[in-house]
Structure 1
Amino acid sequence: MSVFKSLFKQTFIYGLATVLPRMLSFLLVPLYTTKGVLSSVAEYGQVSVIFSYFVLFNVILAYGMETAFFRFFNKEDKKENVIGTSAISIVASSIGFFVLALIFQYHIASFIQIDVKYINLVIWILLFDALVIIPFAWLRATERPMRYAIIKILNVAINLGLNLFFLLALKELAQDENLFETIYKPNFEISYIFIANLIASACTLLLVLSFYTKIKYKFDKQLWKRMFRYAFPVLVAGVAFSINETFDRILLDRLLPPDIAETEIGMYSACYKIALFMTLFATAYRLGIEPFFFSHSKTENPRQNYAKILEFFVAFGAIILLGVVVFADILKPFIVRSEAYWEAMWIVPIILLANFCLGIYHNLSVWYKITDRTRFGAYISIVGAIVTLVINILFIEAYSYKASAIATLIAYSIMVLLSYYFGRKYYPIPYNLKKIGLYLVLSIALSGLSFYRFRGDYITGISMLIVFLIVVYLSEKKQINQLLKK
């Protein structure tokens, strides 16, 4: 029992530390979209584009080495070699990137059409974020969840606090030419956002810097080759996933007319955040249940449990989908403060459903994790990325961010179907497709009716939600009663 207690405790702490950074972007949306904080919707669009590049380059600079570290730290007898080799690898590649990026910063700025002063800040942030990858992995591998969580939470607190301080308290000061250099003009608010991020990243690095003073710097070339071979598919899958998640903003910036691109991206990105309710649920659920997948893989009949887990996930996810859609117009003033962004509310049900599909995909992915066929994860992610790119490139010019939202939904839906198809072949799990299908079809149909036909009619919307809750309760009555008794 103590083993399971420890497992639950660590899962909860790591889950909290992982979900909170995602919450940061959610918490900052009301600040950024408040009238007068950023000078225009286009400014928020520009910030969103830059953060899209962040996601991509964070994956590239990690190049799967964190995952490889976990694998080889638990596998190898000489753990010091694993620590030293992975640390040297990340430090060398990060410094190499940093030097090259600084040398070519003006070329990069010209190519991606972002002001060089922002590029300079981004380069430093990427360096600091890369240098904490192995220290954080070491904290997790040596089972130090509290320190890991505290540092992660401090990063979020510093970033959030500085954003509030810079964008509210110092906003008027920044307009005084005598107090601030011209380098932070125009659009000094954008610089503030990245300066806050830079300080938070620097503080995080300082808190884990002792790791680099304690380790033995021994580089094992053969070990590094094995680690990199293991890490490369993770890198490929990570790049593909980042394309699915954020590359649509970059394509919108490239393919839409320059005079409207950033405004369209700003509206799209702000309303996209309303779907974060589903993302947070799916992330927390995955972090909590993933250890269960592995710990129960050797039990007598794990597949029945895996099937029930997906059923519960779909039931809860369907309730969140319908609930957020019904109350979307009530929620939006609290999350997206300015009416200038609300034009893109059309995408909210689409993105909610897309993230729901992504959560289902993560649940279905148990088969290739259990059977050590993780390459299929990379293949499926690549297919999703190709679908995302093709639909965006073909339809952005005609349909703008609506094409991007639909592309995300189609990509994640295809990934669900592919994972289910190959899962039946390599590790069949007896999913209750009738019940899962009922929840999905009913919640999607009711969500579509509520938002696109009866939007603003809360009597009808709430009635739909109550009907769906009754259906779920009747279907899961036995399990719900058992949980309530416990």
Structure 2
Amino acid sequence: MAGIKSLAKDTAIYGLSSIIGRFLNWCLVPLYTQMFPADEYGVVTYVYSAVALALIVLTYGMETGFFRFANHDRYKDPLEVYSTALISLGVSSTVFVAMILSFIGPVSDALHAGSHHDYIVMMTVAVALDAFTALPFSYLRYAKRPLRFASLRLVNIAVNIGLNLFFILICPWLWECAPGWIAWFYDPDFGIGYIFLANLVSSVMNVVLLVPELKGFRWRFNPALWREMLAYSAPLLVLGVAGIMNQTLGTLLMPWLYADNAEGITAVGIYGANYKIAIVMVMFIQAFRFAYEPFIFAKAKDHGEDRLQSYRDAMRWFVIFGMVIFLGVMYYLDILRHFIAASYFSGLKVVPILMVAELFFGVFFNLSVWYKITDRTVWGMWLSLLGLVVTVGLNVLLVPRYGYIGCAWAALGCYGVMMLASYVVGRRHYPIGYNVPRLMLYFVSGLVFWVVGEVIGMEAHPWTTMAMRTPLLALYVFMVLRIEGVSLRSIIPSRRH
């Protein structure tokens, strides 16, 4: 149980930066949806979907590869592994920037940015820098320095948020009151371009803040090690690309699946804004992932039943916290929906679907332990490709008929299939012995609690509804704690005199 407590502590610290950062970025959504129409916000959503895919390609599994080989018995010096991976990422990121700049026109058209080549140039440089700095952040996780990791993330987020507020709120006001003050750098017609500019500046800031992690060791490149890392990480690259395409492909396909391309971009904006409400689940999963990878590779050195029990405990508590988050968001959706403009409310019906889809993805990530510690990463590739087939098939089938809600169902179907397939294959190659009946109990009972909450809210006033749902949420938590044999006294810190 000590390992789970350590995992929980690291998840909480990593989650601090993730949750606060995502929350602050989440708070920008009402600003974006109030200041920009859905078609312009759709361009932002579309570009960032492409950026998410590019970031996976540019890191090509090196983060997980670094954890694996830094803990490998054959390589005694983790800094040699770190240096080799850093040089690899630096070269590939530079080549990426050169290639995009060489074809900036076609790339801008493909991303629906039109003549705004500057949008794409800014995001190209930003994503290249983010890919390079992904490894220093991974090194902080490896070195078990979650506080520095979290503080750097928070500073970066503060810069991004501050610049967004400055360019989108303060500058337009100054333009009306005292245009002479800002005329030398501000263009009111630049619009959503300031979102991308803020991102670029914060990415540059990342590099500056991570300078201490880029010196103090001898830079060296080990070709043999690099080839081994690529061989290990190549399936993870395919896994990552397929995984991120499972998350973003619906968004990228949506304009092409609508009869009217412009209507499709507007749908992307509505879907993307409502996806932000489900971001609470994404935040939890991201925080868990930051802590879980170092945890599983460290545990892989242990032997016996304790190691397997740690994996079981991690899965069980992940599902518990995931369902509590699901119920919390759905029970208080009448408040949370006001984080987007009322003109986007038509998309609220995708929120529960996306929340469950993200939970399934989190379970799939938990299950991935079996192929990561046994060096069967090729299975991660096949499972993600399976999910990609489901994503494409369901989007093509559902989006033309049901619009963006079909995209949400496609995400649920994709992650559900990946989760089930990984569990079935994992039982054969590396049986861990998860308590599936108990996991199903927590999941199904959570859905029942949600349905009861929805029935309560059919006729009542929103505030009355939330007041009645709160005891339901407390009852679910109490039920889970009783089943787990955990008392409230044991989890509430006591004051010692």
Of the three residues 403, 407, 410, the one matched with 1:404 is 407
Residues 31-50 of structure 1 aligned to structure 2 (within 5 Å):
31-33=31-33, 35=34, 37-38=35-36, 40-50=37-47
Residues 315 and 439, structure 1, Cα contact 8 Å, conserved in 2: yes
| 1:428 equivalent in alignment to 2:427 | no
Residue 483 of structure 2: aligned partner: 475
Residue 150 of structure 2: aligned partner: 149
Residues 155-304 of structure 1 aligned to structure 2 (within 5 Å):
155-173=156-174, 186=189, 188-209=190-211, 216-256=218-258, 257-288=260-291, 291-296=294-299, 298-302=302-306, 303-304=308-309
Change (3 A) 1:453 1:236: farther
AA partner of residue 45 (structure 2): S
AA partner of residue 245 (structure 1): Q
Of the three residues 321, 329, 338, the one matched with 1:324 is 329
Residues 67 and 297, structure 2, Cα contact 8 Å, conserved in 1: no
Distance of 1:65 and 1:316 partners within structure 2: 29
Distance of 2:183 and 2:386 partners within structure 1: 48
Q: Gaps (5+ residues) in structure 2? A: none
User: Deviation of residue 357 (structure 1)?
Assistant: 1.4
User: Deviation of residue 124 (structure 1)?
Assistant: 1.8
Distance of 2:135 and 2:220 partners within structure 1: 15
Distance of 2:264 and 2:5 partners within structure 1: 51
Distance of 1:287 and 1:418 partners within structure 2: 24
AA partner of residue 50 (structure 1): V
Residues 329 and 456, structure 1, Cα contact 8 Å, conserved in 2: no
AA partner of residue 56 (structure 2): V
Distance of 1:294 and 1:182 partners within structure 2: 49
AA partner of residue 87 (structure 1): L
Distance of 2:215 and 2:289 partners within structure 1: 34
Distance of 1:122 and 1:288 partners within structure 2: 28
Change (3 A) 1:82 1:295: closer
Residue 94 of structure 1: aligned partner: 93
| Range 3-12 or range 139-148, more displaced | 3-12
Distance of 2:97 and 2:84 partners within structure 1: 20
Provide the secondary structure at the position in 1 that maps to 2:433.
coil
TM-score (norm 2): 0.85
| 1:29 equivalent in alignment to 2:26 | no
AA partner of residue 30 (structure 1): P
Residue 120 of structure 1: aligned partner: 121
AA partner of residue 85 (structure 2): S
Residues 52 and 249, structure 1, Cα contact 8 Å, conserved in 2: yes
Change (3 A) 1:307 1:470: same
Change (3 A) 1:7 1:376: same
| Range 116-125 or range 428-437, more displaced | 428-437
Of the three residues 361, 368, 382, the one matched with 1:365 is 368
Residue 67 of structure 2: aligned partner: 70
Deviation digits for residues 109-135 of structure 1 (CA, Å, limit 9, x no counterpart): 123322322112112212322332333
Change (3 A) 1:189 1:380: same
Distance of 2:85 and 2:372 partners within structure 1: 23
Change (3 A) 1:456 1:374: farther
AA partner of residue 483 (structure 1): S
Of the three residues 311, 319, 333, the one matched with 1:314 is 319
Change (3 A) 1:85 1:189: same
Deviation digits for residues 210-255 of structure 1 (CA, Å, limit 9, x no counterpart): 5556554543333322221122112111111111222221111222
User: Deviation of residue 143 (structure 1)?
Assistant: 4.7
AA partner of residue 486 (structure 2): Q
Distance of 2:212 and 2:132 partners within structure 1: 12
Change (3 A) 1:228 1:429: closer
Residues 14 and 291, structure 2, Cα contact 8 Å, conserved in 1: no
Residue 109 of structure 2: aligned partner: 110
Residues 370 and 429, structure 2, Cα contact 8 Å, conserved in 1: yes
Change (3 A) 1:456 1:293: farther
AA partner of residue 105 (structure 1): I
Provide the secondary structure at the position in 1 that maps to 2:172.
coil
Deviation digits for residues 88-119 of structure 1 (CA, Å, limit 9, x no counterpart): 22222111111121121012112332232211
| 1:53 equivalent in alignment to 2:50 | yes
Change (3 A) 1:216 1:281: closer
User: Deviation of residue 87 (structure 1)?
Assistant: 2.6
| Range 449-458 or range 302-311, more displaced | 449-458
Count of equivalent residues: 479
User: Deviation of residue 418 (structure 1)?
Assistant: 1.0
Distance of 1:59 and 1:447 partners within structure 2: 35
Change (3 A) 1:170 1:149: same
User: Deviation of residue 29 (structure 1)?
Assistant: 1.6
Residues 326 and 447, structure 1, Cα contact 8 Å, conserved in 2: yes
Residues 66 and 82, structure 2, Cα contact 8 Å, conserved in 1: yes
Percentage identity across paired residues of the two chains: 35
Distance of 2:480 and 2:82 partners within structure 1: 49
Provide the secondary structure at the position in 2 that maps to 1:479.
coil
Residues 47 and 111, structure 2, Cα contact 8 Å, conserved in 1: no
| Range 364-373 or range 293-302, more displaced | 293-302
Residues 11 and 288, structure 2, Cα contact 8 Å, conserved in 1: no
Deviation digits for residues 343-375 of structure 1 (CA, Å, limit 9, x no counterpart): 001111111111121222222333333433333
AA partner of residue 347 (structure 1): V
Distance of 1:92 and 1:285 partners within structure 2: 30
TM-score (norm 1): 0.87
Q: Gaps (5+ residues) in structure 1? A: none
Residues 349 and 447, structure 1, Cα contact 8 Å, conserved in 2: no
Distance of 2:80 and 2:417 partners within structure 1: 41
Provide the secondary structure at the position in 2 that maps to 1:171.
helix
Residues 255 and 262, structure 2, Cα contact 8 Å, conserved in 1: no
| Range 6-15 or range 344-353, more displaced | 6-15
| Range 436-445 or range 154-163, more displaced | 436-445
Provide the secondary structure at the position in 2 that maps to 1:428.
coil
